[in-house]
Every structure is written in C-alpha cells, then in structure tokens.
Amino acid sequence: MNEVILVTGAAQRLGAQIAQTLHAAGYCVVVHYHHSQAAAQALVAGLNRPRANTALALRADLSDALAIAPLVAAAAAHWGRLDGLVNNAAVFRPTSVAHASAADWADIFDTNLRAPFLLCQAALPWLGKAAGAIVNVTDIYAERPKAGFPIYSAAKAGLAGLTRALAQELAPTVRVNAVAPGAILWPEAGGLEEQDRLLARTPLGRRGEPHDIAEAVLYLLRASYVTGQTIAVDGGRSVTG
C-alpha cells in the first residue's frame, strides 16, 4: 500500500500543486477543502483517472476546532493509514492595527496556527505508527513581517515556532519541518507596482512557481535525517536587506 498524505487547503492554487506533485511521486493523497468542493472533486477525479482509488476529497472547516479530529480520522480510515501531514491551508488578508478586530485575530489564528496544532495532535497516533512526517507551510513574513499584515505575520511566526517545538517533542519518531514561500502566487488583488518592488529585492529576479514549493514539500517528506528546519523557497529574498 502506498503512503498516504493529508494536504490541507489542497483544492486550488498552491495546495493543488502540492497534491499533484505528491501523487505523481507515488503517494495516495487526501485533498482537504472547505468551500471549493467543485475544484477538489475535479482534482481528485483527475488524480484517480490513471491510478484508481489513490486520491480522496474531504471537507472540513478548519476554523472549527471540533471538525479537525473527524477530518483526520476520515483521512486515516479510508486506506487504513496516514503517513504524512502537510499543513497548507491559510487565511491571508490585510489587518491594519488601526482597523483590525478581535474577529480578525480569531479567524486568522484559528486557521493559520490553531488548526495546524490540532491537526498534528489528531494525526500523531497514525504518524507515530508510520514514523511519518509533518510539513508546515509558513511564509517568509514569519521572519520579516509584512506591513499591514500584523496578525497574519504573527500567526505564521507562531507556526514557525511550533515547527521547531514539535520537532523536538516528536523526535525521533515523527519529523517536523516547514517550507516558507516567497513570491509564488500573487494575491488576486495585488498591484503591479508592489510586485515589481518585491522582484527587485529578489536575487533570482523572478517569481517562483507552485511546483517550487511542492518539490520542497516532497523533499521534506522524504528527508529522513532532517527535522526542525524551515526551507525558504523565495528566490533568495530572505537573505537581502
């Protein structure tokens, strides 16, 4: 039986590329989604076409703490195992200090930080049995916060810290690492001037592609002597001033 990986927020964009890359590498994938049912079902249908019963779509609202354990249980029950967890789902939106609300804080932290912790907790019995791995998708803004996004930046910084803490606590059985994307997919509302400014500070001089992140995730799932690390996939931007 192939190893099974649960990828959260996997119906579209970066998460979909992660699911496709892992599936192409031979894994069975559980495609988690919240609102994007049609996209998730289409993705899973496409993955199952060449290899039947190797992809599964499951819905859950990760901001609901009570929905997380059932999601993991369903993911593990389908093939009777769970070997890896990729915490990709995230909420990304501006929240200026002057206008942010307690609801903004709860929404962003619940999905970006609390949910990954609860998912790791729920998956631990399965991952321990499989000597599995966790990969968290953080952000280079965890280290260099983005102006106007203090809540998002703080949540991702928390996820980076959680990665290191769990790597210590779950060793030697379960490995925990992270990938920190830089400029990969522009926000739909992003302006061209801001994009140009970001690329000007990127040593490689171009935007990355979703497959760059997916390949880093695949590496960390397989890297048996790597834990507690964050790989910045950002074209070198994190090393510039």
Whether 206 maps to a domain, the answer reads yes
Torsion 186-192-198-200 (CA) sign: positive
> 16 vs 19, 94, 139, 189, 228, CA distance in Å?
5, 24, 18, 20, 25
Pairwise pLDDT comparison (233 vs 201), residue with the higher score: 233
Which H or E run includes 218? helix 210-222
**Residue 67 and residue 1 in contact, taking contact as beta carbons nearer than 8 Å:** no
Residue with tokens 């001037």: 193
Burial class of residue 170 (count of CB atoms within 10 Å of its CB; 0-12, 13-18, 19+):
buried
pLDDT of residue 192: 63
pLDDT band at 88 (very low <50, low <70, confident <90, very high): very high
Whether 239 maps to a domain, the answer reads no
Distance from C-alpha of 78 to C-alpha of 5, rounded to nearest angstrom: 12
Whether 63 maps to a domain, the answer reads yes
User: What one-character DSSP code corresponds to residue 114?
Assistant: I
CA-atom Rg of the chain in angstroms: 17
- Residue 83 dihedral angles phi and psi, to the nearest 5°: -105, -20
pLDDT band at 219 (very low <50, low <70, confident <90, very high): very high
Whether 237 maps to a domain, the answer reads no
pLDDT of residue 182: 86
Number of separate domains in the chain: 1
pLDDT of residue 94: 85
* Average pLDDT of the chain, as a whole number: 93
- Least confident range of 74-78, 180-184, 228-232: 180-184
Between helix 115-130 and helix 68-79 the angle, nearest 10°, is 30
pLDDT in tens, 163-172: 999 999 999 9
What CATH number has the domain bearing residue 134? 3.40.50.720
Q: Catalytic positions, please? A: 152
pLDDT band at 199 (very low <50, low <70, confident <90, very high): confident
Whether 240 maps to a domain, the answer reads no
pLDDT band at 145 (very low <50, low <70, confident <90, very high): confident
pLDDT band at 126 (very low <50, low <70, confident <90, very high): very high
Show Cβ contacts of residue 60 under 8 Å, excluding neighbours closer than 6 positions: 32, 34, 67, 68, 70, 71
Distance from C-alpha of 112 to C-alpha of 121, rounded to nearest angstrom: 15
Q: Could you tell me which of 76, 18, 81 has the C-alpha nearest to residue 218?
A: 18
- Least confident range of 62-66, 86-90, 232-236: 232-236
Number of H helices and number of E strands within the chain? 8, 7
Per cent of the chain over pLDDT 70 is: 95
pLDDT of residue 6: 98
pLDDT of residue 41: 98
- pLDDT greater than 60 at residue 191: no
- pLDDT greater than 60 at residue 57: yes
pLDDT in tens, 91-114: 988 899 999 999 999 999 999 999
Domain of 222 in residue numbering reads as 4-232
Whether 37 maps to a domain, the answer reads yes
pLDDT of residue 187: 59
Supply the pTM of this predicted model: 0.94
Whether 238 maps to a domain, the answer reads no
- Residue 69 dihedral angles phi and psi, to the nearest 5°: -60, -45
**Residue 126 and residue 82 in contact, taking contact as beta carbons nearer than 8 Å:** yes
- pLDDT greater than 80 at residue 188: no
Whether 25 maps to a domain, the answer reads yes
